[in-house]
Structure 1
Amino acid sequence: MLSFCHPRTSQHGDPMEPTFISQTLQRLRQSADVIAAAWPTTRWTKISGPGPDFLDQDGSGNFKDLAFQPGRDLTLATRLHLPAQVAGVPISGDPLEATITSLYPAELTWDEEPVFTDSGVPVAAGPALITVIPQLREGNNGELRITVHIPDNQTTPWFTVYFTTPGLRARFELLDVAWAELAWAQALAATGEEQAALLRAVAQIPENLAEFDQSSLARMESELGLLAGKAARYNVHLIGHSHIDMNWLWTWADTNNVISRDFKSVLALMDDYPELTFTHSQPATYENIRQQAPELFTRVVEFIKQGRWEPATLTWVEGDTNMASGEAMARQLLESVRYSRLQLGADPSSFLAPDTFGHAGNLPQLAVSAGALRYYHHRCNPGQADLWPAYWWEGQDGT
């Protein structure tokens, strides 16, 4: 039997049992997720446009019964009455922050003062955090008003406004970090001594998670120090890439703007962070930059030569692989490899398909013939719930 400091029992079980660790991890995960969506339900009144007269917005930013009509603006308003705390976290004195996810141009005002406006497609710019109200107080915090401009060609109700505060984000991070560190330690602990250290670390998590604070986290991390050397032997690779839908729920002008924005942003980041590397697919986007912004294209080619920018350019676009015929895919590969060699000075070896809804059985044969060594995708993981991080894919012909 293992021994550890400060033994205790609880309603969650004997700390000697593996279930005690699992239950503690579950409590941390659930508490973190509750904080992430803890913002009080907000009732909005329709000022003009389609849909119901009142809409409730949940803590994740979703509007119940949201409805759009082609070519019609939707304007909603709410008077924000708030408590002093949310989920036990004080919010008075903190700024109100928001992330807006929208397929459509949108505007947000606070007491008639503009807070956010985007004449393009906000979701294309990524989930930026904006300050809505500089300082919250208990009670009345004024009026928020949102206007969404719906074009003639689209009505998908993809529009969310996620509210948070620095305090709520810090509380989520505290719980999330504790969960992640314990889960990683559980995976690493193999010897009796390591498992004892893990149990001592778990024992630092109080029954009442409202009492869990930075000092608790520090004590937990101190107990996990025995595993630090083993953890340090692992490398975590963060691979930046830009997935651009060339032909999605926006106009060609929007596509051009997204391509230009991504290339400019990444090049600027590379100037600021010499260690940064980047992977980008779709020769079609490179050709767009070569024609529209040749100076940017020249810089990209230079970074490719330096090994900091990987052109994962085996296919002209990130297209569907199930509906396209084998000949069509072969042409994609042929033209893309030719372009990569002539314009980028590179032989691509990574087949990037992060958003493909299915993977044709003959793709390994075709991809390998074009020089592919690896295939990267997000959707349709064959491991299902196990989410295999890596596996060998054998094509229909045995490739």
Structure 2
Amino acid sequence: MKVKNGLTDLILFGKHTRKRNSLFKSASAEIPSDGAMNRLASRLHPAVQRLQVDHITEETADIRTFRLSAADGADLAPFRAGQYLSLTYEYQGLLISRPYSISSTPSQVFRGNYYDITIRKAAGNAFFSEAAFSEWREGTRVLSSAPNGAFYYEPQRDSDSLICIAGGSGVTPFRSMIEEELEKRESMKIALFYGIGAENDEAFGEEFRSLSGRWGGRFVYIPVVQSPTESWTGKKGFISLDLIKEALGVENVQESSFFICGPEGLHSFMDHELEPLQRPSKFIRRENYGIAAGDSNGKIYKLTVMTRGARRIIDAAAGESLVTAIERAGLAPPAWCRSGDCGWCRSRLIEGEITTDDSLTGLRAADSKFGWIHPCVSYPASDITLEVPSNPIIYSYYG
């Protein structure tokens, strides 16, 4: 529509509005399901991916890499190096889900249409890793979300000098990230500090040493063993700021972006170590593998769960997250990150008291004001009534 003058423009706008309203009225009320944009959205953000185990690699005595391909032959969703999948599997009659970082590179989705997922067999009541180690074989089928998470390199935000700090199985996203970013960016330099308990806990060690030789000074790999044998000649103890400065130089450390992935203890320790640098928070990226348990005082509370129009009363232990309690009761709650970030489990607290770490909830101020919580990082401190959304991934598949 050309701009002419005030009155003419007003008349033309009126005609345009009437024509637009006429088109709206004549249009179908059905949402198109086969348009180009719909196909692209489904490709990038599928509601559910049906995967199967193609190959299993023993990395250490308690760490395995599972290669997952599309069970239905579909193209797998692309991802950014550092993102994770939320996997769902039926085990002992329960539908359980856990997030796992993708340890293969993004380019391998296009070249081979697969994801590598590396799982550590955790001690205690670790339902999912127990299921994977005891039942998964070649051909085993598992449901997956689309790739998710914000633990990835962003050139508009991050320095082109990265210091990656991993603890235990927290090394998995760096296996994906390091080779991907070195190949894409000539100016990129990466140092990986990998904290492990003993020498035989090291996963992907030979791969990282090979990459270090291939990329020369652009990639430095430094494993740090907490309790080494006498034959160990590398770094010992913990990943401290002094150790990092000694390895890389003070100036390089000061100008770098930090990526930290591992258990909560690693994050707490590194918070203290990195504080003297006074780096802005945007230069310290975190991925928390496992949230500390709540107050394990032995108390059992009653949790009333309202979901899908039904009400059910279950037990919830003080030291166990609400999501885990709901999952153990067979109700299959929606949960992706299980660390308070994604908001997938967002539920409304109708009645009762909880404990949580406010720094982990990822809630908006309005959410907290009107009673919304993230059950994955919330623990019961009294009897509770909770309104939980249904899980569209699971119910779209299982009904």
Q: Tell me if TM exceeds 0.5.
A: no
Between Structure 1 and Structure 2, the one with more helix by share is: 1
Between Structure 1 and Structure 2, the one with more strand by share is: 2
TM-score (norm 2): 0.29
In our comparison, the structure showing a higher alpha carbon Rg is 1
